[in-house]
């Protein structure tokens, strides 16, 4: 969660120390006690890889924090971080509230949308959107309390 929030807020580096790698457990199998700060496990590494693959699916260096791109307030329990190159590519991370709507303004064009459950890696890719321009409504899927969305305008 912290890694997704930090990177999607525009952070350039997340220190993803994995405390399951220790002397005698160079393969990452150390079972650290619950009282030890930090984390690490194969599940942790899978989730960090999801974030890496998500970010690498964009032309990341052209994007900047764009929380104001969403036009209305989020539900009180919802959190959102968004990076955008307006009119071309949008990366957003949501947590805390499922099934709510938000609006982004887009120029006319065709857009590929992909929702990702950032915990399990499950993806939903609705059909491409052919948008006439102006406000576009999106609904965070109701079964995703922590998710990311990738919206990229098709270029030819």
pLDDT at residue 153 in the model: 96
Q: Does domain 63-153 have CATH number 1.10.3470?
A: no
pLDDT at residue 52 in the model: 92
Residues in the chain: 156
Average pLDDT (80-100) is 89
Alpha carbon 38 to its chain centroid, in Å, reads 22
Exposure of 11 in the CB half-sphere (CA atoms within 13 A)? 15
**Domain residue ranges in the chain:** 2-56, 63-153
Inter-residue contact 8 to 148 (CB < 8 Å) = yes
Highest mean pLDDT pick, 5-14, 28-37, 56-65:
56-65
Nearest by Cα to 105 from 70, 58, 65, 141: 70
- State percent of the chain over pLDDT 70: 99
Q: How confident is the model at residue 88 (pLDDT cuts 50, 70, 90)?
A: very high
How many angstroms separate the CA atoms of 152 and 89, rounded?
Answer: 4
């Amino acid at each position: 969660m912290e890694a997704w929030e930090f990177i999607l807020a525009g952070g350039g580096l997340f220190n993803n120390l994995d405390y399951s790698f220790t002397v005698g457990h160079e393969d990452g199998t150390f079972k650290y006690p619950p009282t030890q700060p930090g984390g690490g496990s194969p599940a942790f590494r899978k989730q960090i890889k999801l974030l890496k693959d998500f970010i690498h699916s964009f032309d990341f260096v052209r994007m900047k924090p764009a929380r104001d791109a969403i036009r209305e307030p989020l539900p009180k329990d919802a959190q959102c971080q968004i990076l955008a190159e307006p009119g071309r590519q949008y990366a957003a991370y949501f947590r805390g509230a499922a099934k709510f709507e938000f609006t982004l303004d887009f120029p006319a064009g065709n857009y590929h949308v992909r929702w990702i459950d950032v915990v399990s890696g499950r993806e939903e890719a609705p059909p491409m959107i052919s948008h006439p321009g102006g406000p576009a409504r999106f609904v965070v899927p109701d079964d995703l309390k922590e998710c990311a969305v990738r919206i990229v305008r098709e270029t030819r």
